[in-house]
Structure 1
Amino acid sequence: MPRFAANLTMLFTEVPMLDRPGLAAQAGFDGVEVLFPYDHSSSDWLAALAGLPLALINTPPGDWLAGDRGFAAVPGEELRFRDSFLRGADLAARLGVDRLHVMAGVAKGVEAEQVFVENLGWAAAQAPDQRLVIEPINPDDMPGYFLNDFDQAARILDDLGLPQVQIQFDLWHAARIEGQAQAVWDRHKARVGHIQIAGFPARNEPGGGGFDLTGLCTEVDAMGYDGWIAGEYRPARATVHGLAWLQALKARAALIGA
């Protein structure tokens, strides 16, 4: 049965970060995800989560303000990648994180893809029990980011040949990259290990854009998908006043599981 997570970097921002897991649990989410949880200790996170599952975190990106977006596909930055990955994997292990998103970084070209594949293979060997995901991100939101195409991501995974590494399917980015997120999902759903949803064309509450979220719940259940469906969007108003989508999808999931 589908499980639903709140992205705490974007939702419940009315309160400090460590207060957000409690609000997410009260609102009916089954778990949470956090893009960059590194400003707080693992003990503080464990206390704040209070048993609530942590579905996903990203590897440390480096100096965000200076333009860093991770290092996994950046030639010449292999040591920085390894340091950042090990930090992310250590925190993921401490917090019981389901999926660790390996950020590719700003790069382009054949050499960058080769470095990406090699670094992903190294990372999988360092954390063999940790599920890893890579995420295509649209170039408008993140200019220069190496991984900006779902077909490219699929090719990289095929080259890598490790079931431990999968695609992070973000509905918003799929729609921005190709226009039709449904077509992207249909092509690559077998490779997906984590799902994020938002509204389209505005990145507000999930819905619209020609993507059937109710059908998605039915389909992932039939597929035996064991990941999460996470709300990663910008609330149009206070988060708690825009959760009709969650209630509808949880009701659908309950019918599926009945």
Structure 2
Amino acid sequence: MPRFAANLTMLFTEFPFLDRFERAARAGFRGVEFLFPYAFQARDIRARLEQFDLQLVLHNLPAGDWDAGERGIACHPDRASEFREGVELAVEYAKALGVPQLNCLVGKRPSGIPDDVLRATLVENLHHAAQRLKAEDIRLLVEPINQYDIPGFYLSRTDQALALIEEVGGDNLFLQYDIYHAQRTEGELAETLRRHVKRIAHVQIADNPGRNEPGSGEINFPFLFGHLARSGYAGWIGCEYKPAVSTELGLGWIEQLAK
């Protein structure tokens, strides 16, 4: 069976954040992920991970003012210093929590900035982050996001992300492949996974439409889980979906679809 990590930003949200670790462990998850740890003390998160024998497999670099609608600042020329400060904060948490990889949400295109300036800023910021994380033996990921959910996001397609990775260089920069976002933007899930599995360090899932549990929509997850295994993917699969009713009532999909 695939290794599933519960996304604690999306799942068990009827409970306070620090209580979600216990709920994930009770539900049978051995790994967890979430957007950001920064509102909490690293020691408090680590205590939950140790108490419930969970591995934290991923969190994100700071992404600007999330509540105000920002979704990353890596492509913002006027915020390079803030981005680098965020890298240091993320490294501090990652080392304290034993996180092997950090995702960079590159952000929405700021208005009025030429494309070449945005690109140069993004490449320089990612190069800096990749080198800083490499010194700590941490992978850096970038993730395409569909334009329906986040209009204006800089990366929306797999080929764009792979071209960016190639331009930045470095052997610790990889793709985070979110099946939900990819289905909405481009489809071709199986072939994309097969062709680029060596460049993919993390997979996330949700069905479409609705971004609900696997099995609730159009994506053939039993086939894709088998296809991932046959393609040689050995990483975690992050469950980043919105439960249709509640997390625990909707977890039957794991036994039904992932045998």
TM-score, normalised to structure 1, is 0.89
The structure-2 alpha-carbon separation of the partners of 1:239 and 1:210, relative to structure 1 and needing over 3 Å to count, comes to closer
Query: Which deviates more from structure 2 when the two are superposed, residues 46-55 or residues 60-69?
Result: 60-69
User: What is the alpha-carbon distance in structure 2 between the residues aligned to residue 3 and residue 89 of structure 1?
Assistant: 25
Q: Extract unaligned runs of 5+ from structure 1.
A: 253-258
Query: Which deviates more from structure 2 when the two are superposed, residues 113-122 or residues 52-61?
Result: 113-122
Q: How far off its partner does 1:227 sit?
A: 1.9
Q: After TM superposition, where is structure 1 displaced by more than 4 Å over at least 4 residues in a row?
A: none
Counterpart check, 1:226 vs 2:228: no
Query: Would you say how many aligned residue pairs link Structure 1 and Structure 2?
Result: 251
- Deviation readout 1:135-163 (Å, 9 max, x if unpaired): 10112211222112211001111222323
Counterpart check, 1:121 vs 2:123: no
In structure 2, what is the equivalent of residue 98 of structure 1?
100
- Deviation readout 1:87-110 (Å, 9 max, x if unpaired): 112111110113200121222723
The structure-2 alpha-carbon separation of the partners of 1:211 and 1:163, relative to structure 1 and needing over 3 Å to count, comes to farther
Aligned residue for 2:77, secondary structure, equals coil
Q: How far off its partner does 1:180 sit?
A: 4.6
Preserved CA contact (<8 Å) 1:74 1:116? yes
> Which of 119, 133, 139 is the matching residue for 2:141?
133
Q: How far off its partner does 1:29 sit?
A: 1.2
1:161-200 correspondence runs (5 A):
161-200=169-208
Preserved CA contact (<8 Å) 1:181 1:211? no
Preserved CA contact (<8 Å) 1:172 1:197? yes
Q: Extract unaligned runs of 5+ from structure 2.
A: none
In structure 2, what is the equivalent of residue 69 of structure 1?
71
Counterpart check, 1:54 vs 2:56: yes
Q: How far off its partner does 1:208 sit?
A: 5.9
In structure 2, what is the equivalent of residue 4 of structure 1?
4
Preserved CA contact (<8 Å) 1:206 1:231? no
User: What is the alpha-carbon distance in structure 2 between the residues aligned to residue 141 and residue 183 of structure 1?
Assistant: 24
User: Considering only aligned residues, what root-mean-square deviation do their CA atoms show, in Å?
Assistant: 2.0
TM-score, normalised to structure 2, is 0.89
The structure-2 alpha-carbon separation of the partners of 1:117 and 1:209, relative to structure 1 and needing over 3 Å to count, comes to farther
Aligned residue for 2:78, secondary structure, equals coil
User: What is the alpha-carbon distance in structure 2 between the residues aligned to residue 236 and residue 140 of structure 1?
Assistant: 20
In structure 2, what is the equivalent of residue 256 of structure 1?
none
- Deviation readout 1:112-145 (Å, 9 max, x if unpaired): 2222222111111112110111010112211222
- Deviation readout 1:48-101 (Å, 9 max, x if unpaired): 222310111011112123332222122232111101111112111110113200
In structure 2, what is the equivalent of residue 83 of structure 1?
85
Q: Which amino acid aligns with 2:220?
A: D
Q: How far off its partner does 1:33 sit?
A: 0.4
> Which of 188, 203, 210 is the matching residue for 1:202?
210
Q: Which amino acid aligns with 2:172?
A: Q
Preserved CA contact (<8 Å) 1:21 1:48? yes
The structure-2 alpha-carbon separation of the partners of 1:184 and 1:219, relative to structure 1 and needing over 3 Å to count, comes to closer
User: What is the alpha-carbon distance in structure 2 between the residues aligned to residue 40 and residue 247 of structure 1?
Assistant: 33
